Structures are given as C-alpha cells and as structure tokens.
Amino acid sequence: MTKNETINIDGLQFGWETQEGLFTYEGEDAVLFWVTTVMREFFDALEEVSGEEAARVVLETTGFRQGVVVGEYFSNMKNVNVEEAAALITATYASAGWGLAEIHKLDIENKTLEVYLKNSWEHKVNVAQKKERGGDFLPAHYAGIFTQMFGQNIWYEVIHYQLEGYDETVIHYFPSEESVEKNIHRLVRQKEAEQIERLEALVKEKTEDLNQLIKEISSPIIPVLEEIVVIPLLGTYDEDRTGELLEKTLEQLPKYRAEYMVLDLTGLNDNFTEHAASLIEKLGAAASLIGTETIIVGISPQVSMTIQENAVDLKKFNCFHSLQHGIHYALAQKGRSIL
C-alpha cells in the first residue's frame, strides 16, 4: 500500500494518508480501535469512575446523539428516502466493523421498525467484560438515527440480546416521549435521592452518638461528701430524658448510700419546662421511697416565676439559693459543718 491510498467497499470510501497520520471514512476523519482490548478498557474505566448505572446512561446518551448525526447524513443524501436509507444501513455499518445490522418490519406510516444486530462491537465488548446483560449504546444509536430520519422522537425496547444466547440482538423501535434527556434527569434525581438518604443515615447515626454522649455526661450524679450527692439539672428535659434520669438516679443513690440528694436548678434558668417540673417532683418522690431527702438549690427569680405560673409545689422540699447553702444544710442535719 502506498502512503496515500483509497479503496471502495460496497460503495463506501476508506482512505489513508500515512504521512499525515490520517484515516478517513466517507471523506471524514475516523479512527480504529481494537474492540475486545482497547474498547473494553474504555468501558471498564468508564464504569469504574462513574459506576455501572451512570455509565449505562452515558453510553446510551452518547449512542443516541451519535445516531442523530448519522441520521442527518442519511437525510441529506439526495433522492434517498427513509426506506432506501434503511437499506443502506446494513452495508454502511458492516463495512465499518460495527457488526451486521438488518432492518425489519419497517412501517414508515407508524414510524416503527425492528433492528437485528449480530456480532456487533458492543456485543464483543460485553462478552470480553463477561457481562450478563447487553449494552445500550447501539440500541440507542439506531433510535437516534431514526429519530432524525422520521423527524419524531423514536425510542426502543430490546426484545432480547445476543449475549443471552440468541442468534442476534432484536430491538423494537417506536415513537415515544421517552428520551435520553429524561433518563439523564431520572439518574440525577436518583443520585440526589441516594445522596440525601446517605446524609439522613449519617445524621441519624451522629444524632444517636450525640444523644448517647448527652446521656453519659448530662445530669451526672456527683458524690460531694459522705452520704451527700449533687445532681445538676442541665439543658432541656423531654419525656425520654426525664425517664432516663429517673432510672439512672434510682440505680445510683443506693450505691452512694445517699441520705441527701441536692438538685441544682442553676442550669435550668432558660429551660424550665413542665417536664423539668415533673422531673423534680418525681425525683423527690422516688428518692424519699429509698430514704433519701431531697434538697433544691439554684432557684433563680426567673425559675421561681415559672414555678409559680405552673403551680409546681416545692413546699415539701427544703429550698436554698445556692449549692453551698444546700450542702451546709445537709451537713448540719448530721451535726457536721465545713470549717
């Protein structure tokens, strides 16, 4: 072969200009790849980077839009109608190494047809990849061709793939509102939903971790002196947190042999709710059942007003302004004092 060569196969022109490093197909720049090695690596890399599902949408979209370009080529051929152009597809794609593509059941009025694909390059790539399902590039590609030729959006349904053990892949084409754009948007929404689901799961996990941490560090039982414990009430109490603190307190008081339980309300200045009021009453009642006297300290003017508004009865408890006063009182009841 000389440095510049052109040959004709079934009416199609192939050309080489080796000095310029050019290969042409029907006068347009073209390129050749090994199917089961180089093209397989391309497909594998695409799936590795974007994931198999996204890769399918990418290939389907690319195949369709390339098909539209080919459809323009056939539409621009002089004195060639849709039926004649359909007949040219077999020779055109076979000569280009795309496999055998035969058009069947072409109904120009209803704009439907079937395409039989045998030994296509996509099938060979899928075999090399050891896929169990055929690809979407070529099915979408012919949808793009006939979308352009019919002047109406054409979509497809794969009846069966050659990869499934049949002699060829059979694809049915028909007018439809389905499109590559809709599939792209559907994939984007699905990915967004998956991301939101992952974030929600992460938030739930972190919230559970935080709640557990709060359980461990909030409202600790502090043994300050022999037989005297202090419980600082901190933050906002709801039904769950109230129940947890009650359970925790009843478990721990006997351990410390506590005769006096000092409830410090200093941390409730902005969070004194009906749950907090109920907690105080329940803690006091539960402690008295096991012989522990409750002392309340840290009642600010703001908390005092809230207690009055909610008709909370604290008369059965000894109340003091500060924690120091409450501890001094407890010690005095045992005939002791701090010097």
Walk me through the domains of the chain, giving residue ranges and CATH numbers: 33-178 (3.30.1380.20), 218-333 (3.30.750.24)
* Lookup result for tokens 């000389």: 2
What pLDDT, on the 0 to 100 scale, is given for residue 214? Answer: 62
E strands within the chain? 4-9, 12-17, 22-25, 28-29, 100-107, 112-118, 154-160, 169-175, 222-225, 228-232, 260-264, 293-297, 318-320
- Cβ count within 10 A of residue 22: 13
Comparing 50-54, 135-139, 210-214, 327-331, the range with the smallest average pLDDT is: 210-214
pLDDT in tens, 66-123: 999 999 988 888 888 888 888 888 888 888 889 999 999 999 999 999 999 999 999 9
| pLDDT score of 50 more than 90 | no
| pLDDT score of 301 more than 60 | yes
What pLDDT, on the 0 to 100 scale, is given for residue 117? Answer: 95
Bridge partners (DSSP) listed for residue 320 = 297
Between CA 120 and CA 183 the distance in angstroms is: 24
- Cβ count within 10 A of residue 18: 12
Summary mean pLDDT of the chain: 87
Comparing 37-41, 74-78, 216-220, 259-263, the range with the smallest average pLDDT is: 216-220
Contact criterion met (CB below 8 Å) for 11 and 25:
no
CA 286, 288, 294, 300 dihedral sign is positive
| pLDDT score of 273 more than 80 | no
| DSSP-derived pairing of the beta strands 112-118 and 100-107 | antiparallel
H or E stretch covering 177: none
| DSSP-derived pairing of the beta strands 100-107 and 169-175 | unpaired
How wide is the angle at C-alpha 104 spanned by C-alphas 101 and 110, nearest 5°?
A: 125
